[in-house]
Amino acid sequence: MSANLSNDVLARDRQQMVESQLRARGIADPRLLEAFSSVPRHEFLPEKSQPEAYEDHPLPIGEGQTISQPYIVAVTLDALALRPSQVVLEIGTGSGYQTALLAQLTKYVYSIERYPALAARAQAALLRLGYSNVLVLVGDGSKGLAECAPYDAIVVAAAAPRIPGPLFQQLREGGSMVIPIGPADVQELDMVRKHNGAPMVTVLEGCRFVPLIGEQGYSGGFPPD
């Protein structure tokens, strides 16, 4: 923790985030609000960024990646209506903050990160904070993790050109996936429900995420304009 920040200040900022950025904008699930109230977002950030930990915008975490705006994370998790008995696959561990929220809300989380350095930092933070129901792996998240499927829910924290087939296949019948779809400049956050083996898509929000790099994503990043 930064020497310039006290636990009291950080706790106050975290509660202000919950009230002004989440509850005031329609996030009402008590379990979800409690998770955001208790997970210390600053612990998943580089020290220089900790003073901004509870502000309403993304922040850089290294490797050209970001930790998402708290509200977008809340919209994603609220749409999934997660339950304590569920097993979740997360694509794009990033800082590990969303992973921690998922760990509080569900039974077990498998999380795949493309960048080894980010995976290692996220795993260290999760272990330090006592989250034992998480497995962080390094790999191509666009292909999912077939050996542990099916999943009750899948959360994708990077934009894809389309719904990756392997991820949809690994989703349990009746399960849900939230994924950003689109190129760099125009993306939508989609809720995808698996109903009779077919995708039922609902658009949640406009959004802006880094690209999903991999076999089922963008091969080398977003295409040039």
With H, G, I as helix, E, B as strand and everything else as coil, classify residue 182.
coil
Distance in angstroms (rounded) separating the CA atoms of residues 43 and 128: 10
Reported as half-sphere exposure (CB side, CA atoms, 13 A), residue 125 has a value of 26
Respond yes or no: is residue 68 known to be catalytic: yes
Distance in angstroms (rounded) separating the CA atoms of residues 133 and 154: 16
* Annotated active-site residue in 37, 68, 85, 95: 68
Distance in angstroms (rounded) separating the CA atoms of residues 75 and 217: 23
Distance in angstroms (rounded) separating the CA atoms of residues 173 and 169: 9
84 to 32, 91, 137, 215: CA distances (angstroms) = 12, 20, 22, 32
Distance in angstroms (rounded) separating the CA atoms of residues 147 and 169: 12
Please check whether residue 143 is in contact with residue 216, taking contact to mean a CB–CB distance below 8 angstroms.
yes
- To the nearest 10°, report the CA torsion of 182, 184, 143, 58: -110
* Residues identified as active-site: 68
